Structure 1
Amino acid sequence: MASVTLGVIGCGGMGSDLARNAQKLEHANVAVVSDLDEKRARTLAEQVKSTYYLDYGALLARDDIDAVLIASPPFMHRQMTEAAADAGKHVFCEKPMAPTVADCDAMTQAVTEAGVKFQIGHVCRYHGTHGKVRELVASGAYGTPTTMIVWRIGGGWGDSHPNWRYKLAESGGTLMEVNAHEIDFMRYVCGDVANVSAIGGTYVQTRHDYPDVTLVSLQFTSGAVGFLQSGNASAIGGYGGRVDCTEGSIDFPAFWGGGATIDTKRFDGEREEIAIGDLDFETPVKAEIRAFVDAILDDTDTAITAADGRAIVEVARAAYRSIEEGGAVISLG
């Protein structure tokens, strides 16, 4: 069977994780990595037994590279995607797709006109808890969703993180840099979002130029409603949620961790418990790269599209706008 030769752009934590997992796939090979920081590039190249460049343009100029994995800061995603598409390379782009909807549209146009594959790294779709919750809802055993609530809160970035994380124009703020996963998960379960309203502010992480506490209300086109609690101002933190449906409920107070469970109950049944530790699933990062590689080899649509990436940015931008407008309801589409 054929294989896909990959180049990795961005050798930070996520780029390194992508490269190491891609190298474990039987039909993929990481031939080259690129980063402005030579130490990081050299370290990753040694780990995956590849070569490295400081200039990603040199990576794109190589004829043997079939596709790229982009794991740079979000504000660089557009220029790198456009350059990769122009070079005829398939593109896997880390979340968020870009900090603005306009950037997302430009990226979509670039890959469409070039005829290359494009996938967004909404990796939580491949996690056992997220996948199981979606499976339970999609089964119809609990009826149709009426309400979905998700919370993901924690502390700040810390002084060791680069400055771009503190800037909305470069990172997309917490709603995109972190909660792209949760917004995508809510869409994955409940469908497209019709309108958004939000309240929030900056209370602890004053270095940010965006809110460190955000409460977002979502109205889905299906009629279901959703609520997302996001923030970088919690000393204890938490990550969980629940889905209430017309015939029952699915509760997951913690997505992972020792003893974490998914609890389900129909109105006419007994409460049941699924141990998250018992779920059988592939390492999520490896699974998402496998899906990307398979789409290239089989010439099929990617699992998580540019439209999916754009939708998350649209929701997040609408939430920030709503906060600025005193909690106004912002219609999408």
Structure 2
Amino acid sequence: MVKVGIIGAGFMGGMHAECYNNLPNAKLLAIADIDLIKAENLAKKYKVKAYQKPENLFKEEDIQIIDICLPTFLHKEYVIKAAEAGKNILCEKPIALTIKDADEMIEAASKAGVKFMIAQVIRFWPEYVKLKEIFDNKSLGKMTSISCVRLSQTPTWAWDKWLLDSKRSGGALVDLHIHDTDFLLYLLGKPISLLSVASKSSLKYSHVFTTFLFSDDVVAFAEGGWDMPDNFPFTMGFTANFEDGVVEFNSRYQKSLAIYRSGEEVEYPEVKIELQASAETGGNISDLGGYFSEIRYFVDCVENDKMPTLASGESARDSLKIVLSELESIKSGRLIKL
């Protein structure tokens, strides 16, 4: 039984708590948040201890995993503290706001000999897992292009409105759009070049459009924005073109995943949902499927003493590096060769 402490009792902390609650080989022991009332409310739901100071979790010898669900600008501080306390670490994405901070976090975990994973959840999301399977087994031939989209209401629900402050979150570019940049790297490797633009808005980098060129002449496009009206439903999806067909995913469709082949009936693959539950914590996603899969994976890694290679700190740093190259392109108006 792997024992867990969560830092951060907000939207994502609630999502993660519900996942641990549904895992047979994990036990949530405590939750910490600077807002003690929030920590107590979430802790009460799972009958665990509540703390105001995260450091109290580090002192609990039984805790093997520290799950960091804090604003991005706080990731470095608490990842390093958790590593120095000898705890394995699951940290929310993005890893950090700078490559320097990311490197220091990776180094701290390596020096302490603890497992360190960044919760790049799209690598575990069922429809994206299916696309990776189709890509790897070449059942539709070679991929020629892929277009990704991720659109959200303006995230006014976050503590102290930190998501709306680009200095603390990096804007939609670093917090939201990085999901698709990370998945593209996971699928296709490092791009050869990219060109990014951002729409003009009072919120910095709130809607981003990037075209990537990958090896084998694969063209990718990714759009990410959180400047949608408050009644606009959260939307994520992709259209992946292969030599012998197209795979389409749209989170707003009842049959969310479809495979199109010329002259054949449309195929709607069954997507395995690992957990159908809701943490009921607000925010833009209520389905726990992908979150459950990533957390189960990390718990299994800790239990079986395996490194979390599917979403390592190093791969998260690499994704951040590409996103920061996108920022360079936005600022300069130039194509960036990588």
**Same fold per superposition (TM over 0.5):** yes
Mapped partners of 2:64, 2:112: distance in 1: 13
Match of 2:251 among 255, 275, 279: 255
Cα gap change, 1:57/1:137 in structure 2, threshold over 3 Å: closer, same or farther? same
Partners of 1:219 and 1:225 within 8 A in 2: yes
Partner of 2:19: 21
Cα gap change, 1:23/1:98 in structure 2, threshold over 3 Å: closer, same or farther? same
Cα gap change, 1:297/1:160 in structure 2, threshold over 3 Å: closer, same or farther? closer
Partner of 1:233: 227
1:270 aligns with 2:264: yes
Cα gap change, 1:161/1:7 in structure 2, threshold over 3 Å: closer, same or farther? closer
Partner of 1:316: 323
Mapped partners of 1:29, 1:323: distance in 2: 44
Please give the per-residue CA displacement for 1:131-184, whole angstroms capped at 9, x wherever unaligned. 112211211012222211111224322377633112222112102211222222
Partner of 2:186: 188
Mapped partners of 2:63, 2:216: distance in 1: 42
Partners of 1:99 and 1:168 within 8 A in 2: no
Partners of 2:3 and 2:28 within 8 A in 1: yes
Partners of 1:8 and 1:34 within 8 A in 2: yes
Mapped partners of 2:54, 2:157: distance in 1: 27
1:59 aligns with 2:66: no
Cα gap change, 1:281/1:315 in structure 2, threshold over 3 Å: closer, same or farther? same
Aligned with 1:192: secondary structure?
Answer: coil
Mapped partners of 2:49, 2:11: distance in 1: 18
Aligned with 2:254: secondary structure?
Answer: coil
Partners of 1:129 and 1:255 within 8 A in 2: no
Please give the per-residue CA displacement for 1:64-84, whole angstroms capped at 9, x wherever unaligned. 111110000001011100010
Aligned with 2:153: secondary structure?
Answer: coil
Report deviation, 1:221: 4.0
For 2:326, give the aligned amino acid.
Answer: A
For 1:258, give the aligned amino acid.
Answer: Q
Partner of 1:79: 77
1:242 aligns with 2:248: no
Report deviation, 1:233: 3.3
For 1:158, give the aligned amino acid.
Answer: T
Report deviation, 1:125: 2.3
Aligned with 1:65: secondary structure?
Answer: coil
Match of 1:94 among 92, 95, 101: 92
Partner of 1:141: 139
Report deviation, 1:264: 2.6
Aligned with 2:67: secondary structure?
Answer: strand
1:219 aligns with 2:213: yes
Cα gap change, 1:330/1:280 in structure 2, threshold over 3 Å: closer, same or farther? same
Partner of 2:271: 279
Mapped partners of 2:162, 2:224: distance in 1: 19
Unpaired runs of 5+ residues, structure 1, are: none
Report deviation, 1:249: 2.4
For 1:255, give the aligned amino acid.
Answer: S
Runs of 4+ residues over 3 Å off in structure 1: 158-161, 233-238
Aligned-pair identity (%): 27
Equivalent pairs counted in the alignment come to: 320
Q: Scaled by the length of structure 2, what TM-score is found?
A: 0.88
Mapped partners of 1:262, 1:41: distance in 2: 41
Mapping of residues 193-204 of structure 1, within 5 Å: 193-203=191-201
Partners of 1:117 and 1:301 within 8 A in 2: yes
Cα gap change, 1:182/1:234 in structure 2, threshold over 3 Å: closer, same or farther? same
Cα gap change, 1:64/1:159 in structure 2, threshold over 3 Å: closer, same or farther? closer
Unpaired runs of 5+ residues, structure 2, are: 275-288
Mapping of residues 280-319 of structure 1, within 5 Å: 280-282=272-274, 283-302=289-308, 303-319=310-326
Partners of 1:176 and 1:312 within 8 A in 2: no
CA RMSD of aligned residues (A): 1.9
Mapped partners of 2:6, 2:185: distance in 1: 28
Aligned with 1:272: secondary structure?
Answer: coil
Cα gap change, 1:261/1:23 in structure 2, threshold over 3 Å: closer, same or farther? closer
Aligned with 1:31: secondary structure?
Answer: strand
Mapped partners of 2:158, 2:293: distance in 1: 29
For 1:38, give the aligned amino acid.
Answer: L
Partners of 2:255 and 2:268 within 8 A in 1: no
Q: Scaled by the length of structure 1, what TM-score is found?
A: 0.90
